């Protein structure tokens, strides 16, 4: 397969320019750079403090706000004004959140299908607004530590983030005063941080298991001569360490009768649960008090309640492995990313699935930001030996006649990527064409997810089949899709940057792959039927027009046989039988072909003699 060339040094960047790498996390966020002396990636922190900045925002009564550790202390004392896990809200509607809304102590607004907003008193904030506040705090802290202005950044996102979520992350950076040069996938960043690809002779296949606070990703990558190529990816944007915490909270709620507001109680217990999760990584029992009530959980109980959650990640691993076309024994390394991978049961189950010891030698909390710093160094022109090739997780295509999905970019296509295909009109004088873009793996667009639709208008009136409309898909380095449609004869053109509709939950999108496999046989049969019906309908329309224009050139017998054949074909369309439709289509073709060729020959002879052939 040909490699995709990426221009990683643009004229607008200078080699000594400071570009930071940012891991905008669900639970914690941090900034990393390439150290000017050691040339190694390092996470920024002041003195002996932690590099982690809690992704928490508190809105005070006087209109002031704080972010990070200072805000975290208000999670219990003022939960309605303290926002956490904003990343989980990125690009989501209220319907997308489903039962997860119960885990938020603050008010999430249901705005009739629009993207969710958070209400704090009489003000409303989008997830982009909230994320920008976290990014602004990271920018401020980085500038304080580095003693220089920070205006450019590389920000990481889960590999399973869709177009809307990636665009929302970029918008949040812009609002924070950052020029976001690249959005890269967290697993790719992590593999960079582990040092893979530095040795130009190294050839390795790596599985990156990334269990963060709110999202899970598994990616299979190959590294050959410094080129990172993602073979497959899978995951869940609503699965992470927060779910382990909530499993503990729900366990305690089922074991005790707590007084007070349920949301406030859950918020207080959530912090205790986070503490318990970490403690049980090295101890057998955790005990604490909540409002003079003793709460406890053993390591055995903890592992029992979180096992179903971890099994979901293992299913994703199996899907990613299948998509990559590799066997478990072909995976050379399994690297662990995200603070939740410190949980012993996680390591045990992942190791058991892949049949080898996992590699967790790099700080799982910092590894993604460190990789982002390396990517930033590449963009600054300081590192030219590495090339990153990510992929699109689902197929992208257009709706064609009969509601069929015509795939232009198959799933797991390397990005950046471009594909184009020509289409034409099916009616005489047709002046417009609807371009409907879909994402998914099923043969019928109704079973896939519509991303966008627009009309290419102004096509000059021409006979059906004569216009040539080229539709091109371009996925840029951030994984954001741009669609263009151009009528090649007239030059009429229109383009759109795809901003997806939000009719499906992440669970629905995740099920697309499974649905495509389970319905493969049915889909193939349905596609064949639709194609047969489409061909038959076009033949009926063409034949009818031909007869109307050339009725005087046909014999009574030809007209009668054609009429009967057309009726038979029309009747077969109602029978939903592909073979019958194809048979009747061929019968009509056999009847009409001889006289169509005879009339065409006559028209050509007249034309050669200089006679008018307008009637034909």
Task: Please identify every residue annotated as catalytic.
Answer: 23, 87, 186, 210
DSSP 4: P
Burial of 195 per CB tally in 10 Å (0-12, 13-18, 19+): middle
Distance CA 280, CA 283 (A): 5
Burial of 402 per CB tally in 10 Å (0-12, 13-18, 19+): middle
Cβ neighbours around 338 below 10 Å, total: 27
Name 229's bridge partners: 222, 389
Residues near 320 by beta carbon (within 8 Å), at least 6 away in sequence? 207, 218, 219, 220, 232, 233, 234
C-alpha dist (Å) from residue 210 to 54, 190, 248, 392, 446: 19, 9, 21, 18, 32
Distance CA 9, CA 12 (A): 8
Label residues 254-286 b or e (16+ Cβ within 10 Å = b). Answer: eeeebeeeebbbbbbbbebbbebbebbeeeeeb
Phi-psi region of 213 (alpha: psi -120 to 50; beta: other; left: phi over 0): alpha
Residues near 89 by beta carbon (within 8 Å), at least 6 away in sequence? 97, 108, 116, 118, 127, 130
Contact criterion met (CB below 8 Å) for 188 and 223: no
Name 438's bridge partners: 397, 450
DSSP 5: P
Distance CA 223, CA 198 (A): 10
Pure H helices in 200-295: 241-255, 262-279
Angle at the Cα of 571 (from 566 to 576), degrees rounded to 5? Answer: 125
Name 454's bridge partners: 435
């Amino acid at each position: 397969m040909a490699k995709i060339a990426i221009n990683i040094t643009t004229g607008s960047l200078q080699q000594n320019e400071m570009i930071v790498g940012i891991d905008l996390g669900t639970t914690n966020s941090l900034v990393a750079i390439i150290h000017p002396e050691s040339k190694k990636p390092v996470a920024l922190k002041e003195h002996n403090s932690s590099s982690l900045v809690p992704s928490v925002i508190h809105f005070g009564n006087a209109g002031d706000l704080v972010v990070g550790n200072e805000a975290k202390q208000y999670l219990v004392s003022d939960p309605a004004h303290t926002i956490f896990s904003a990343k989980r809200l990125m690009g989501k509607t209220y319907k997308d959140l489903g039962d997860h809304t119960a885990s938020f102590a603050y008010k999430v607004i249901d705005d009739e299908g629009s993207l969710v907003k958070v209400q704090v008193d009489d003000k409303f904030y989008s997830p982009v607004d909230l994320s920008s506040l976290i990014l602004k705090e990271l920018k401020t802290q980085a500038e304080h530590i580095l003693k220089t202005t920070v205006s450019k950044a590389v920000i990481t996102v889960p590999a399973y983030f869709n177009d809307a979520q990636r665009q929302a992350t970029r918008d949040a950076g812009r609002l924070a005063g950052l020029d976001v040069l690249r959005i890269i996938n967290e697993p790719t960043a992590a593999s960079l941080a582990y040092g893979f690809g530095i040795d130009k002779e190294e050839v390795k296949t790596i599985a990156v298991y990334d269990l963060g606070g709110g999202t899970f990703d598994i990616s299979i990558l190959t590294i050959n001569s410094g080129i990172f190529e993602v073979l497959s990816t899978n995951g869940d944007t609503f699965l992470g360490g927060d779910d382990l915490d909530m499993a503990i909270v729900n366990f305690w709620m089922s074991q005790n009768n707590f007084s007070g507001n349920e949301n406030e109680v859950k918020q207080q217990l959530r912090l205790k649960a986070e503490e318990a999760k970490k403690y049980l990584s090295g101890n057998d029992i955790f005990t604490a008090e909540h409002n003079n009530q003793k709460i406890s959980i053993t390591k055995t109980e903890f592992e029992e309640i979180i096992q179903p959650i971890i099994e979901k990640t293992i299913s994703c691993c199996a899907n990613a492995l299948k998509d990559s076309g590799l066997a478990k024994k072909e995976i050379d390394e399994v690297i662990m990313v995200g603070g939740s991978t410190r949980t012993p049961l996680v390591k045990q189950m992942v190791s058991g699935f892949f049949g080898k010891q996992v590699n967790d030698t790099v700080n799982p909390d910092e590894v993604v930001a460190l990789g982002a710093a390396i990517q930033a160094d590449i963009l600054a022109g300081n590192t030219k030996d590495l090339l990153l090739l990510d992929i699109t997780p689902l197929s992208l295509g257009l709706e064609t006649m009969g509601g069929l999905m015509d795939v232009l970019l198959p799933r797991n296509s390397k990005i950046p990527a471009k594909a184009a295909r020509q289409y034409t009109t099916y009616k005489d004088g047709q002046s417009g064409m609807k371009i409907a873009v879909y994402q998914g793996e099923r043969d019928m667009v109704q079973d896939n997810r519509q991303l966008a639709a627009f009309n290419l208008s102004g096509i000059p009136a021409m006979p059906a089949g004569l216009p040539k409309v080229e539709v091109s898909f371009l996925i840029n380095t951030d994984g954001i899709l741009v669609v263009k449609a151009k009528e090649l004869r007239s030059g009429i053109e229109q383009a759109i940057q795809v901003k997806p509709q939000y009719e499906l939950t992440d669970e629905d999108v995740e099920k697309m792959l499974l649905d495509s496999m389970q319905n493969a046989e049915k889909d193939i049969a349905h596609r064949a039927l639709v194609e047969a019906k489409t061909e038959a309908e076009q033949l009926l329309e063409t034949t009818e027009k031909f007869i109307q224009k050339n009725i005087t050139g046909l014999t009574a017998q030809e007209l009668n046989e054609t009429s009967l054949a057309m009726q038979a074909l029309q009747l077969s369309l109602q029978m939903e039988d592909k073979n019958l439709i194809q048979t009747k289509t061929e019968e009509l073709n056999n009847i009409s072909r001889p006289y169509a060729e005879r009339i065409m020959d006559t028209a050509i002879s007249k034309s050669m003699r200089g006679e008018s052939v307008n009637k034909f």
